[in-house]
Homo-oligomer: A and B are copies of this chain.
Amino acid sequence: MPLFLSTHVNKVDKKGRVSVPSGFRAALADQSFQGVVLFRSNNHECLEGFAYSYMEELGERLDNFDLFSSEQDDLATAIFADAVQLPLDGDGRVILPEGLAEFALLDGRAAFVGLGQKFQIWNPDKLEKRRNNARKAVRSNALTVPKGNGGAS
């Protein structure tokens, strides 16, 4: 299973083009759709990115909510309605839609942050704070990665 790992900062040119880090492209290699899916994060001022195949899995998970529950509706709206599907060009770049770039406060540089199954795109300056907060949270809440299905509620 390919994972999104590490952090890479790339430039956004005036046409909104950004190189997807080559390591991330490798994680997308054997997909039917050559590209990424992006949408606004619910928790931070950043973008969330997935492989297309993972979106399908997301759909299945949402099925675990009651079909007409407001939670299901809210989540589906937040995720699917807002998502954009961006193809890679011949040189491994995508074009960030203006609205998304604005939302994530991306001026000229974009930090691709690998989070395993997904990744995020941050303004490099904002990211630094976020990182420190995450580390702090892990330490102070004594968060650990559960064995087996330990995290299931």
Chain A positions near chain B (C-beta within 8 angstroms): 1, 3-7, 23, 37, 42-44, 55-56, 58-68, 70-71, 73-85, 113-118, 130-131, 133-135, 137-139, 141, 143, 145-153
Contacts and interface: CB of A to CB of B under 8 A. Distances in A.
B117 A70 contact: no
A134 B74 contact: yes
Given A55-B3, A73-B43, A151-B61, A81 B131 contact: yes
B81 A7 contact: yes
Max chain B Cβ within 10 angstroms of own Cβ: one of A7, A145, A147: A145
Contacts of A44: 73
A62 B5 contact: no
A64 B7 contact: no
Contacts of A73: 43-44, 115, 134
10 cross-chain pairs, A with B, having the tightest CB-CB distances, nearest first: A64-B151, A77-B134, A76-B115, A59-B116, A74-B137, A74-B134, A78-B138, A65-B151, A81-B113, A6-B84
Given A76-B115, A116-B62, A134-B77, A71 B143 contact: yes
A5 B84 contact: yes
Contacts of A43: 68, 70, 73
